[in-house]
Amino acid sequence: MHQINIGEDLRGKNREIAEENREMLKKHGIFSLNLMSAPGAGKTSLLVKSLPMITDRYRIGVIEGDIQTTRDAERVKKTGVEVYQIQTGGVCHLDAAMIHSALHSLDLDALDILFIENVGNLVCPAEFELGVDGRVMLMSITEGDDKPKKYPLMFSESRLLVFNKIDLLEHVDFDLQKAKAEAAEINPEIEIIDLSCRTGEGLENWISWIEGFYKSCRG
Ligand SMILES: Nc1nc2c(ncn2[C@@H]2O[C@H](COP(=O)(O)OP(=O)(O)O)[C@@H](O)[C@H]2O)c(=O)[nH]1
Ligand SMILES: [Mg+2]
């Protein structure tokens, strides 16, 4: 019996469009990162805090993915960077086609770095390639140190794991070493940064990581 695997078909089509995005970004010399996390881990906070630290050196664009509202886009716009909002209307992740139409709306010749804030969700965003240089995952220490093994795909697909909200460590039962060990078991290559958007601790490391990776991708 002939069966069509809709999931595989969808992901195959997505991968093709992701490759077109990759080519388009490469052609314009744009370095790009896909930020993923559960809702509330601090993706928008990280952008708002760190973009002003690099806008003197790079021309930045941000694609904001949300199910509803333009709230995050409005927060990020205040930093003065170019922001494009995607409202998925219920879809729990960004896909390559959504990014493709965003790329056609942005002035790509005017950008050096593109950040994509994915929809807050620990599962679906990891399944859809967008065509970027790297994926970054944020996990806040209020989410529980058992999450890496419960949601392994996002950990295995990410190049960098940012543990955010470390200012709250003394208030929650979160074993940072245990969470790091689990993440490293899933993905031995993963790089890790401890950070607090609230106190600013770790922001310099995040900026150095971006610049190091940027240079390795774009010379
Ligand atoms: N205590 C603390 N709160 C944070 C930190 N980073 C973000 N938050 C708060 O967490 C909430 C969700 O942050 P947001 O950036 O909107 O998360 P997003 O949904 O991943 O974009 C907001 O109320 C932030 O002020 C942090 O490092 N420490
Ligand atoms: Mg957000």
| Any domain includes 67 | yes
Q: Calculate how far, in angstroms, residue 84's C-alpha sits from the geometric centre of ligand 1.
A: 21
Q: Which ligand has its closest atom nearest to the C-alpha of 46? A: 1
Residue 8 CA to residue 129 CA, distance in Å, equals 13
Residue 205: other Cβ atoms inside 10 A? 15
Residue 10 pLDDT: 82
Which protein residues have a CB closer than 5 Å to ligand 2 (ion)? 43-44, 72
| Any domain includes 172 | yes
For ligand 1, say whether the CB of 47 is within 6 Å of any of its atoms. no
| Any domain includes 41 | yes
- Residue 192 phi/psi, 5-degree rounding, is -130, 135
Q: Which two tokens stand for residue 147?
A: 């999450």
For ligand 1, say whether the CB of 202 is within 6 Å of any of its atoms. no
| Any domain includes 23 | yes
Residue 3 pLDDT: 61
Residue 143 CA to residue 120 CA, distance in Å, equals 13
Sign of the CA dihedral running 32, 211, 186, 42: negative
End-to-end Cα, the chain, rounded Å: 51
Count of domains observed in the chain:
1
For ligand 1, say whether the CB of 168 is within 6 Å of any of its atoms. yes
CB distance 49 to 200 below 8 Å:
yes
For ligand 1, say whether the CB of 65 is within 6 Å of any of its atoms. no
Query: What CATH number does the domain containing 38 carry?
Result: 3.40.50.300
Q: Which long-range contacts (CB under 8 A, 24 or more apart) does 171-178 make?
A: 172/141, 172/142, 174/141, 174/142, 174/144, 174/145, 175/145, 176/141, 176/145, 178/145
CB distance 119 to 40 below 8 Å:
no
Residue 27 pLDDT: 97
For ligand 1, say whether the CB of 198 is within 6 Å of any of its atoms. yes
Residue 50 pLDDT: 98
| Any domain includes 84 | yes
Amino acid in position 109: D
Name which residue sits closest to atom 7 of ligand 1, judged by CA.
42
Name which residue sits closest to atom 11 of ligand 1, judged by CA.
40
| Any domain includes 1 | no
Residue 109 pLDDT: 97
For ligand 1, say whether the CB of 142 is within 6 Å of any of its atoms. no
Residue-range definition of the domain harbouring residue 172: 6-218
Residue 1 pLDDT: 57
Ranges in the chain, pLDDT < 50: none
Residue 71: other Cβ atoms inside 10 A? 12
Contacts of 77 (CB under 8 A, 6+ apart): 83
| Any domain includes 119 | yes
User: Helix, strand, or coil here: 92?
Assistant: coil
Mutate to test the pocket of ligand 1, among 45, 140, 142 (most ligand atoms within 8 A of CB): 45
CB distance 102 to 118 below 8 Å:
no
Amino acid in position 22: R
CB distance 183 to 148 below 8 Å:
yes
For ligand 1, say whether the CB of 37 is within 6 Å of any of its atoms. yes
Q: What is the pLDDT of residues 42-93, one digit of tens each?
A: 999 999 999 999 999 999 999 999 999 999 999 999 999 999 999 999 999 9
